[in-house]
């Protein structure tokens, strides 16, 4: 067996290994579109009594907030802001804005810019 054959065989084996790892883990839901997406997660989150676990590597934060904005009709108030406003909630022991809102939806995103504020306000 020549050096070139060994090099090609090893390269092919590594390529198959990386491709199969990417296929089965599928971090971007490219190959398995039937998995849980941000739309179904947002509906389940709105309907859950105690919240849901959201792995940080699953969806981009802005796409999840965009999906949550479609559920804004269910809330009395909507909070839009940067990470400083993420603590505002009506599902804690010390509820926020109880004088004005019975329920609120927090659409704050980390590092929000004016474009995020405009877009999330429009979507809500």
Segment 45-67, tens digit of pLDDT? 777 777 767 666 666 777 888 88
* pLDDT at 114 > cutoff 90: no
Hey, what's the torsion of the CAs at 30, 56, 85, 106, to 10 degrees? Answer: 50
* SS3 of residue 115 by DSSP: helix
The predicted structure's pLDDT at residue 27: 66
Mean pLDDT of the 102-108 span: 80
The predicted structure's pLDDT at residue 12: 96
User: pLDDT tens digit string along 56-98?
Assistant: 666 677 788 888 888 777 778 888 888 787 777 766 666 667 7
User: pLDDT tens digit string along 20-36?
Assistant: 888 888 766 666 665 56
pLDDT tier at 14, thresholds 50, 70, 90: very high
Which residue from 67, 84, 81 is spatially nearest to 112, judged by alpha carbons? Answer: 81
pTM: 0.57
Q: Produce one character per residue of 11-45: b if its CB has 16 or more CB atoms within 10 Å, e if not.
A: eeeeeeeeeeeeeeeeeeeeeeeeeeebeebbeeb
d(CA 55, CA 39): 15
* SS3 of residue 104 by DSSP: strand
Which residue from 28, 58, 31 is spatially nearest to 45, judged by alpha carbons? Answer: 58
Residue entry with tokens 């809500």: 124
């Amino acid at each position: 067996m020549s050096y070139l054959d060994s090099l090609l065989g090893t390269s092919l084996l590594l390529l198959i290994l990386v491709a199969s790892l990417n296929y089965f883990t599928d971090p971007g839901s490219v190959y398995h579109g039937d998995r849980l997406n941000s739309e179904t997660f947002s509906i389940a989150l709105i309907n859950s009594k105690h919240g849901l676990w959201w792995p940080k590597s699953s969806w981009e934060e802005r796409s999840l907030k965009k999906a949550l904005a479609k559920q804004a009709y269910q809330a009395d108030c909507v909070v839009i802001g940067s990470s400083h406003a993420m603590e505002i909630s009506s599902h804690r022991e010390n509820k926020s804005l109880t004088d004005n809102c019975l329920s609120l939806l927090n659409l704050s995103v980390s590092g929000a810019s004016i474009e995020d504020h405009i877009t999330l306000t429009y979507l809500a």
